[in-house]
């Protein structure tokens, strides 16, 4: 029996030896199996991301369609539209948004395009009313797509027979600060080496040209629909919250982010809950239930970025508190229309006086209500979807008049119409 078992074992060993693959073959089989396993494991996430991308782009297109419905322009990508008038006060904001750029040279245009290429955004050309995309640097979320849709929207409002090239940075931080130790009478190209770059914010003295941010179409990543609907919804929530019924405690509803300004504000809320609440997960509409709403700058631990929440806060009719340092508050395109003490209440950027400012508002309820109402009235008219797009249209027109000579084009530039660019996301 033992001999027979040994023979069977030897026979099985010979069979297994005959079936063994060379080492390189086993390696290839393992590699292919690993790749296939990874693909099938990643497939559900890939499908989710593709579905998300389609949903987000659809939300942005719906926001653009809502704008065009409100302004009366054609809703087809290829429709043309007649001249659309804009409110008279837009002219003042356009001049303020252009900042120091009385003239824009070829050097300034190229410098702005170079700044954008190192970050995120688009390099665009307007020619005879049509918008073309020369280059695109992939950005965060769907902000590039939003910027392109806004450009297409204003082209439908009627840009006229102008020629202009400009770069748009789609990040939260300004990228054309003044160069240190450069005299004020130096050429603009020396004072602002970042060029005539269009951005969503700047500090006083900066060279960024201010334009409306992505939220004026939609913010799909935050599950927000069109700005037209959001604008109306927050106004309605404010109207449904009588001042006397609102909570007399300041509210900041957002993430801490490790941002120093927010860390200090959170510490105040923990130390003095009768003055301030620092929390998250509160809708824009529900924030209207507080008498005082606090605006804090964005960005991570280093700060140094605007937050797009200001337009939402103002619409509530609550008193909005805004940090203001030596350079004033963060400037967005509409902020020059706001006056401290009239439309909002300033506090120090180091947050040292925020508690005292809130306590003062609690003691002066009538003044606080008046300031909140004044801020809401400006936001209601100025931050409407139509006004924001009128501003962008007139800004591009004025920018074109300040551009000295034909704008330079990259030697390898491919003029892709913006509507075609929207069909293909950047690599």
CA distance 414 to 416: 6
Strands 121-127, 130-137: parallel, antiparallel or unpaired by DSSP?
antiparallel
* Residue with tokens 């719906």, as numbered in its chain: 62
Q: What is the pLDDT of residue 177?
A: 85
Residue range 146-158, pLDDT digits in tens: 899 999 989 988 8
Looking at the chain, the whole-number percentage of residues with pLDDT higher than 90 is: 53
CA-nearest of 236, 390, 224 to 308 is: 224
CA-nearest of 279, 172, 284, 170 to 223 is: 284
Residue range 217-274, pLDDT digits in tens: 877 776 677 888 999 999 999 999 999 999 999 999 998 888 899 999 999 999 999 9
- 254 within 8 A of 263, measured Cβ to Cβ: no
Angle at 307 between CA 301 and CA 311, to 5 degrees: 165
CATH: 3.40.50.1100, 3.40.190.10, 3.40.50.2000, 3.40.50.150. Which one for 225-382? 3.40.50.2000
- 133 within 8 A of 422, measured Cβ to Cβ: no
CA distance 264 to 166: 38
Q: Is the pLDDT of residue 280 over 60?
A: yes
pLDDT band at 400 (very low <50, low <70, confident <90, very high): very high
User: How many residues are present in the chain?
Assistant: 427
Q: Is the pLDDT of residue 423 over 90?
A: no
Beta bridge partners of 133: 124, 416
H or E stretch at 43: helix 23-71
Q: What is the pLDDT of residue 62?
A: 58
* Residue with tokens 């909140």, as numbered in its chain: 372
């Amino acid at each position: 029996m033992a001999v027979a078992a040994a023979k069977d074992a030897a026979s099985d060993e010979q069979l297994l030896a005959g079936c063994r693959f060379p080492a390189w073959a086993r390696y290839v089989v393992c590699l292919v199996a690993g790749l296939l396993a990874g693909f099938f494991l990643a497939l559900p996430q890939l499908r989710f991301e593709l579905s998300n991308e389609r949903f987000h782009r659809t939300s942005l297109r719906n926001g653009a369609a809502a704008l065009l419905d409100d302004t009366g322009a054609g809703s087809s990508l290829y429709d043309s539209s007649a001249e659309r008038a804009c409110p008279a006060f837009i002219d003042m904001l356009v001049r303020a948004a252009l900042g120091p750029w009385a003239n824009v040279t070829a050097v300034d245009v190229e410098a702005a395009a170079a700044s954008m290429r190192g970050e995120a955004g688009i390099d665009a050309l307007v020619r005879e009313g049509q918008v073309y995309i020369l280059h695109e640097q992939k950005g965060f979320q769907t902000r590039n797509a939003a910027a392109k849709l806004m450009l297409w929207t204003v082209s439908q409002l009627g840009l006229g027979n102008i020629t202009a090239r400009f770069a748009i940075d789609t990040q939260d931080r300004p990228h054309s600060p003044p160069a240190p130790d450069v005299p004020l009478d130096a050429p603009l190209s020396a004072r602002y080496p970042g060029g005539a770059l269009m951005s969503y914010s700047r500090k006083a003295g900066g060279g960024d040209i201010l334009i409306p941010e992505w939220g004026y179409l939609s913010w799909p990543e935050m599950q927000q629909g069109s700005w037209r609907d959001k604008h109306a919804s927050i106004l309605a929530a404010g109207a449904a919250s009588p001042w006397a019924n609102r909570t007399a405690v300041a509210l900041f509803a957002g993430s801490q982010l490790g941002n120093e300004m927010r860390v200090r504000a959170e510490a105040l809320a923990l130390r003095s809950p009768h003055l301030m609440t620092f929390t998250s997960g509160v809708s824009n509409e529900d924030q209207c239930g507080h008498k005082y709403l606090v605006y804090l700058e964005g960005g991570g631990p280093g700060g140094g970025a605007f937050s797009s929440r200001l337009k939402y806060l103002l619409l509530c009719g609550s008193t909005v508190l805004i940090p203001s340092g030596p350079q004033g508050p963060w400037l967005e395109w509409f902020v020059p229309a706001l006056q401290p003490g009239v439309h909002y209440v300033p506090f120090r950027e180091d947050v040292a006086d925020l508690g005292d400012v809130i306590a003062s508002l609690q003691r002066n309820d009538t003044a606080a209500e008046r300031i909140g109402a004044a801020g809401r009235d400006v936001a209601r008219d100025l931050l409407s979807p139509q006004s924001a797009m009128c501003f962008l249209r007139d800004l591009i027109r004025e920018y074109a008049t300040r551009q000295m000579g034909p704008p330079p084009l990259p030697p390898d530039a491919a003029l892709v119409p913006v509507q075609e660019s929207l069909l293909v996301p950047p690599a």
